[in-house]
Amino acid sequence: MKLAKWLAPALALVLLAGCGSKADTPAVDNENETVTNQGYTLTIPAEYKDLLTVETPKENDRGTVFAVAETASLDAAKALGWEDEGAGNLVTIRRITKGEAVDNVVYDIPGERVFAKDDAGYYFVADYPTDVRLVREDNDAMNAAMDQWSAMNAWADTVPDTFLADNSGLTACTAEELLADAGDLITDADHYASFTNMDARDVDAFAQMVKTFYLAEDWESLATAVDYPVRVNPDGVLEDEAAFLAYMADKHVTDGGREAMLAETCHNMFVNGEGIGMGSGQLWLTDSGFDVITGEGEPQLAVFAINDVK
């Protein structure tokens, strides 16, 4: 076992030291580690810098700047053959739009903490796992790691404060302050009532989902949220999912379409008798299960038209 391999040389060192060995004492590195990404800085305490893995992705749709996990948990998950990307997760720092930040608060997204904003109007959230992500290969190793794991989680709770202190141009912001300044980013409960009987928050959540698929050009995922036949301009109507996937295989979102959809807040969206328009018409949503005239039927929101792909 790995533990046994480590204990044997460690015990030998102790015995040698007790017999008057002049072996040098290893130097202790007490310097904190500074990690940078996308123009931002994250400080890792000296006692944890050899125990943590910090991912620094390039700009991405989720807005992730730093993702911090315990390395031993990542290694254990790999050894066990797990594919759970959340193994060892302690905290993730994301930079998101105001609309996304409002969603997190209004819809009470578990584990999300709004803590700062910048001069460009973006907000910073700390994502915390809602379950324990500590992983070891057996229960004994799991129990032995618990104290250190608890200490790491206590440190993770302080990350928003240190991140705010380490990065100029940021202003502290609470969830309450965000909502007080949210304006029309909070959807009126009756905003879509003339078109669907789906809860306005669920409409917004669906819109946010298909917006993500569209921007990521994830056509397979978008295909599951489409009402067929679907209009894909300028080339007409696609009858079913197979035709849609075949057509979209080499398609990309235009620059104009991307810009418009990035600006879409997914709150109080344009709605008329035809449906709900997103962006400047890049996606149109329909409710195929609700009858506006009779007011009956179960809501079934879906995309019925797609624009600005080529």
Higher per-residue confidence, 181 vs 47: 47
In the predicted model, what is the mean pLDDT of residues 33-37? 96
For residues 124 and 149, state if they share a domain.
yes
Please enumerate in sequence order all residues whose Cβ is within 8 A of that of 100, keeping only pairs 6 or more positions apart, or say none. Answer: 63, 123, 208
For residues 157 and 33, state if they share a domain.
yes
pLDDT-based confidence at residue 224 (cuts at 50, 70, 90): very high
**Is 216 part of a structural domain of the chain?**
yes
pLDDT tens string 239-275:
999 999 999 999 999 999 999 999 998 888 999 988 9
Strands of the chain, DSSP E: 33-37, 40-44, 52-55, 64-70, 89-96, 112-118, 123-127, 170-172, 226-232, 237-238, 270-272, 275-278, 283-287, 301-306
For residues 170 and 248, state if they share a domain.
no
Full domain range(s) for residue 253: 188-306
For residues 147 and 259, state if they share a domain.
no
For residues 134 and 232, state if they share a domain.
no
Domain count, the chain: 2
**Is 7 part of a structural domain of the chain?**
no
Q: What pLDDT score was predicted for residue 55?
A: 96
pLDDT tens string 156-174:
999 999 999 999 999 999 9
Say what the pTM is.
0.60
**Is 1 part of a structural domain of the chain?**
no
Which range (6-20, 222-236, 286-300) has the least confidence? 6-20
For residues 212 and 121, state if they share a domain.
no
pLDDT tens string 59-69:
887 899 999 99
